Every structure is written in structure tokens, then in C-alpha cells.
Chain A
Amino acid sequence: MTVTASPPQAPATRETPEAAERRNPVRFAILIALLVLLLLVVAPLLVVLLNAVKSPSDYASHGPLALPSHLYWDGIVTFWNRVNFGQKLWNSFLSSIVVAVLGVVLSILNSYALGIGKVKGRVWFLVFFLVANLLPQEVLVYPLYYLSKQIGLYDNLISIVIIFTVIQSAFGTYLLTSVYAEFPTELLDAASVDGAGKWRTLWRVVVPVSRPTLGVLFTFFFIWTWNEFFLPLVFLVSNDNQTVPVALSVLQGDRLMDATTTSASALLGILPAMLFFVIFQRTLTRGITAGAIK
């Protein structure tokens, strides 16, 4: 979300309109609007941060918006130990990274066939992938439950990896196929003149050229899988197999909610995904600009 808010260095190409725009009051208005938006986006995170380090009785007597009277780390520490958070982090990381890698590979293979190979009936394939992507997960739960029970993968991270690899690569195929449909034919022709087979062309020409786009897909697949809640909740029954979002739900009781511990857990839950996003943010911007230049 922050990426779109900060346009990359485009002004070099158009100097004069830029100077005129600088004096334009509309730009000021937009800036203020963006600041307000930014505040709206950041406010919930700030509230979480505020309450994560507040003691329960402090919360009870001064409410959620007051500054904590002293820093209280017990909420975070207790929560970490209570759900064995290290294990959950590892589970989430492992499944997300495997899904991201497999999902990208599967998307590449599919889109190579559909976008560059121009397989017969490719439009229908794409429609199929799009529909598969639009299906709500609630519809999929029961069939997937019976299938995974039949083959003994219920309550196993592998089931989650398989399911999300398929779901993410359905979207990846849809997106990447349209990218590959526009792939410069000169490059493909040159490769075939040089005597490269289909397989070789894919890995030596197509993949390296589209690497920025693949980087974007990888990042998104990772974060989407990381944030998944519903299917992991259904499929990962044992505590040892659970992922971070499922572990966070332990705190939601029948009637009561423990606001400060919930905030502490929310903070722990968001941090890894945010870190990952910050690290790969450059890949994302590069992927977007690379697409624009080509």
C-alpha cells in the first residue's frame, strides 16, 4: 500500500510540467489527503502498539487510547510462551516459503504453455483459472477435508502447502500469462535460431527476462499464504502444526477478550509479514517499473 503512495523517479523525463505543477494548489490538497490516508492506515497499528505494552489494569482504568503509564512487556512474553510462538513462526515461514517457490514455478510452467506456447483453448483455461481463483474458500472446505482425510494428510502442513500452491498459482498463471502473451517474439526467435529447445528457452531466456515480475509474485504469494487464516484453522488441528494467524486466535474466548494480550499477539503476528515486506519492497517497485519500461 505504501508502494503506490510513493511514485518512483519519473520527473527526469518531463521537467517543465513538473515545475508548473509545483505551484499548483491541487498538489497541496492531494498531499494533505494522502497524509490523512496515511494516518488512517497507520492509526490501527499505533493502537495495537500502544496496548501491546500496557498492563491490563492500566487498560481497564484508562481505556485503549491512553498512553501506557509504564512499559509492560509481560503480555508479549507470556503470549510467546503460552502458544510456543517460535514453533508457529517456523511453521508459517516454512509453509509460506514453500508455497511461494512452488507457486511461482507452477505459474511459470502454466503461463509458458498458455502465454508463449499458445495452447489451443487457452482462453478457456484462463477463465477456468480465474473462476478457481474467485471461489470462496468456504465452498472448498468440505471437499478438501474429505480428500485430505482419505489420503491421510488432514492435520498436516503438507495439505496446506498443496492447497495454497494451487490457489496461488491459479492467480499467478492468470497474471503471468498476460505478461508472457506480450513477450518480445524477437528474443524467442533469436533463441530458437541459436538452437535452444523449448525447455532451454524457458529457463535461459523467458525466466531471466521476467524475473522482476516473478519477484513480485513470490513476495505476494509469501505474504498471502502467511496471512491465511480460514483453511489453516480447519486443516491444522494439532498445536504443533499451527501457523501464526491460527495461534493468534487462541486469545479470542467465548465471551471475553483480553485486549492487551490480544494487542501483544497482534504485534507479534504482523511484525514478520511487515519485515518481509520491507525487505522485498525494492523487488516490488523494481517489478512494477520493469514492466513499465519494457
Chain B
Amino acid sequence: MFRTRAGAAAGAFLLATSLALTACSGSGSDDKNSGSDAKTLTLWHYEGPTSAMGIAWNKAIDIFKQKHPGVTVKFEEKSFEQIQQNAQMILNSDSAPDIMEYNKGNATAGLLSKQGLLTDLSDQATQRGWDKKLSNSLQTTAKYDDNGIMGSGKWFGVPNYGEYVMVYYNQDMFKKYNLQVPATLDDFTKVMDAFKAKGITPLSVGGAEYPAQQIFYELALSKADRSFVDDYQLYKNKVDFHGPQLTYGAQTFSDWVSKGYIAKNSAGIKAEDMGVAWEQGKFPILISGSWWYGRFASEVKNFQWGTFLFPGNSLHPGSSGNIWVVPEKSKAKSLAYDFIDITMSPEIQNLLGNSGGVPVAADASAITDAKNKELIDNFNKISSQDGLAFYPDWPAPGYYDVLVAGVQGLINGSKTPAAFLDEIAKPYNQNLTDIGK
């Protein structure tokens, strides 16, 4: 009995193999004609169905179907982890989708573009005008050079949405202590002093994950200009880790801890717990990214809240969101370009904005909800001043963990600001040598 089953399995196995082999050789030959006559579009992304991107992209799929009546769209929701772990293997196989959402950055999209797994979108970007719709700092994450480093070279991705770090505040608590939204960093410090005087720790901080390093970077940016960002992120010139910007960031962060603006125990707090603590009204202020916005809007019921940009800064941590890429093995490239074009259309961009996301090319007057409008106006303000400074952990692979550990040292006082800067300078400079800069 087992023998026959094994035999049948082996037969099925051989059959499957030969089918798969013929399938590859068949598609390989007409691949170059960009598959404008393809009848299916396989599309992957990893945004939840109720998120702003999920809503907008669902609508984009509907519009795509209307415009291409004979084409079936095979949409699959993937997990972030699956794409993060396996993109390289998947894109190198015949299971590659025709278009997918992917992470921007040197270690992800940059690496794959260098390996020839992504399609060059430069011609499409100029023909279809995507280059006009996206501001310079947004284009940074769409273009990669021959070494897979972002900022220049060919287009390999198209972002639909943006993200940036801002200050969320509890309006009820501000009102209770008669405090105003601060306009400068000094005012901000005074507001935090006022809370401290009432025995309230002003900032909800997650030191075990990304939030704390973004505060440090935000503080460094308050003394920085665009050329510092270009040096730090795009390796234009060597960065002095004991220069005025980073020294100010580290020193001020450390001061904020010693003055009690940031609780000592926040070194062990995760981002999720930071957010929940703020939602529960335990802290009046949270400094973090626009990715929280939709969630706060739907979950915070017990108090009024608002946002403002980090006072006094013209540069803010932030970037384009994840990007659409077209795998080199895509069998329906021209359909994929059409789909990207639809996601960049005003209709989808406005829907993205009205659903609580940050569109890159929306008409701000078409955003109906007042809160969402404020979110998008702020983003447009940053974007038009070329004020997106990306994230502190971008420049080197594995730098995220270095920064988390370093900032934790600042929070629990085990490291001086100078020692912290030395510690984070080492892997950064090591990476420069590795990539030959």
C-alpha cells in the first residue's frame, strides 16, 4: 500500500516538474515584449485592509479592472516578514509577482536593484510624469545607483505615501494645566517643565525600539541643515560625530533624561507599549511617526488630541513610504506600470488622504476631514521645503541595533554623550570603508 502511494507521488512529482519546466521555457521567450497582452496581474502588498493604504489600493484595483476589462487581478496580502526575509529568493524564481510593495532603502530595494532583480522604471517615470509629482526628498528613496545606494541613478520604485515624525499631544491635559502648543524648542522645554512640576513625566518613550533614536535624531536635526543630512545619509562628505549637530542631539537627549522629561525605565519600553501608555492618558506627549495617526484616530476615545511639528525644526525624520517595484521577472510589466499610474492619480491619492494616510501627490483642498488635512498640510510643508531627513538607522546595515543599544545607554545613564557618539561612529565608519567611500 505504501509502495503504491510512493509510486503515485513520484509520478505526480515528475509530472509537476516537467510542467514547471515547460512553463518557464514558454514564458521566457516572449518576456521581453513586456507582456502587454498578459491576462493576469499578480499583485502583492502587506498593508492591512483597513489601513489607509489598504483602502486606497483596493480602490485602485477596482479602477484598474474597469480600465482593463479582460485582465484578472490576482491580489495576495503578504506578511511584512515574508517579504523582508525572502524577497530575494522569490524574485529570483518563477513565483515572482508582477508588481509588489517593497521596503525602500539601501539594504532592501537598493540591494535587489544591484542584483538585477528589479525593473528600471526611469522611462516610465518621465513619460507618465511621476517625477513631477514627487518632491526631491521623496525621490531619494525611489532612485538607486549601480551600487544600490539611494539618492541618484535609475528609478526602481515609486512611493505612494509619505511618513514623518511629529509630536502628538493630549489636548485635555494641555488645557488642564493651561499650556499652549509650543512654537520653539525653548517653549517646548517650558511645557515639559510645567508637566514635570505637576509630577507628570511629559514624554512617552519606547527606548527598546525605534522611538528613542528618532528623538535623538530630531534633536540633532534642530542644529543641522540639508548638507548634514546629505553627508550622513548619502555619504557626500565625512560626518564628524563630535560635530555640533550630533553632540547637541546626544547632550540634549541626555539632559532630557536627567531633567525627568524621559522616564529612566523607558529604556525597556517597546514602541507598542509607548503608544498604548499615551492612549491611556498616562503621558501628555508622544514623539513618533505618522504611522500611528490612523490608529490613534480610531482608538483614542477618552480625550481630545492633536499634533504639531517638532518645534523650531525645518528638518524632520521621515521619508517616502514603501515603494511599488516591478520585478525583472514580471510577466505583465506594462500592466504593472498602468497600475502604478492609477495609484498616483488624484482620485486614489485623495482617498489615501481621506482615510488617514499621508499621500504624496494629493490635492489638499480635496481632503475633507479637518484632522487629516492638518496631517497632510504638515507633510506638504515639510516636503516642499525639502525637509525630510530620513531615519537615523538608514546609513549602515545593522545600524538600528547599534542605535537602540546606544540610546538605551543614554537613558539609563550608563554612557556619557561622548561615549555614545564614539560607539555609534564606529559601525558607521566601518560601513563607509566597506562600500569604498
Contacts and interface: CB of A to CB of B under 8 A. Distances in A.
Interface of A: 56-57, 59-64, 82-83, 105, 145, 149, 151-156, 158, 233-234, 237-239, 246, 249-259
12 contacts: A60-B280, A82-B77, A105-B2, A152-B20, A154-B93, A158-B13, A237-B95, A250-B78, A252-B80, A253-B46, A255-B291, A256-B292
Nearest to B15: A152
A152 B81 contact: no
Interface stretch (B125-133, B221-229, B257-265, B293-301): B293-301
B80 A253 contact: yes
Nearest to A153: B16
Interface stretch (B82-90, B241-249, B325-333): B82-90
B276 A63 contact: yes
A37 B366 CA distance: 58
Given A158-B13, A253-B47, A254-B291, 7 more contacts: A56-B298, A59-B276, A59-B299, A60-B279, A233-B85, A254-B46, A258-B48
Given A82-B49, A249-B82, A234 B89 contact: yes
A59 B279 CA distance: 10
Contact of B86 (A151, A234, A255, A259): A234
B79 interface: yes
A255 B271 contact: yes
A255 B206 CA distance: 12
B95 A155 contact: yes
A250 B51 CA distance: 14
Contacts of B322: 254
B48 A253 contact: yes
A62 B301 CA distance: 11
A249 B21 CA distance: 31
Nearest to B292: A256
Nearest to A237: B95
Contacts of A83: 77
Contacts of B272: 256-257, 259
A6 B302 CA distance: 48
Chain B interface size band reads 35 or more
Contacts of A145: 89
A158 B17 CA distance: 12
A256 B295 contact: yes
Contact of A152 (B21, B46, B86, B89): B21
Contacts of B16: 152-153, 156, 158
Contact of A250 (B9, B77, B92, B292): B77
A178 B186 CA distance: 74
B95 A233 contact: no
Contacts of A238: 76, 95
B81 to A, nearest CB: 5
A153 B9 CA distance: 13
B44 to A, nearest CB: 9
A249 B81 contact: yes
- Among A105, A238, A259, find the residue whose CB has the most chain B CB atoms closer than 10 A: A238
Nearest to A83: B77
Given A56-B299, A152-B16, A254 B103 contact: yes
Contacts of B82: 233, 246, 249
Nearest to A234: B86
Contacts of B89: 145, 234
Contacts of B9: 158
Nearest to A248: B79
Interface in B90-136: 90, 92-95, 103
Interface string B37-54: 000000000111100000
B17 A151 contact: yes
Contacts of A152: 16-21
A273 to B, nearest CB: 20
A48 to B, nearest CB: 15
B182 interface: no
A63 B280 contact: yes
A253 B78 CA distance: 10
Given A61-B302, A255-B289, A256-B292, A237 B86 contact: yes
A255 B94 CA distance: 30
Interface string B1-40: 0100000010011001111110000000000000000000
Nearest to B163: A255
Interface in B159-199: none
A149 B80 contact: no
B428 interface: no
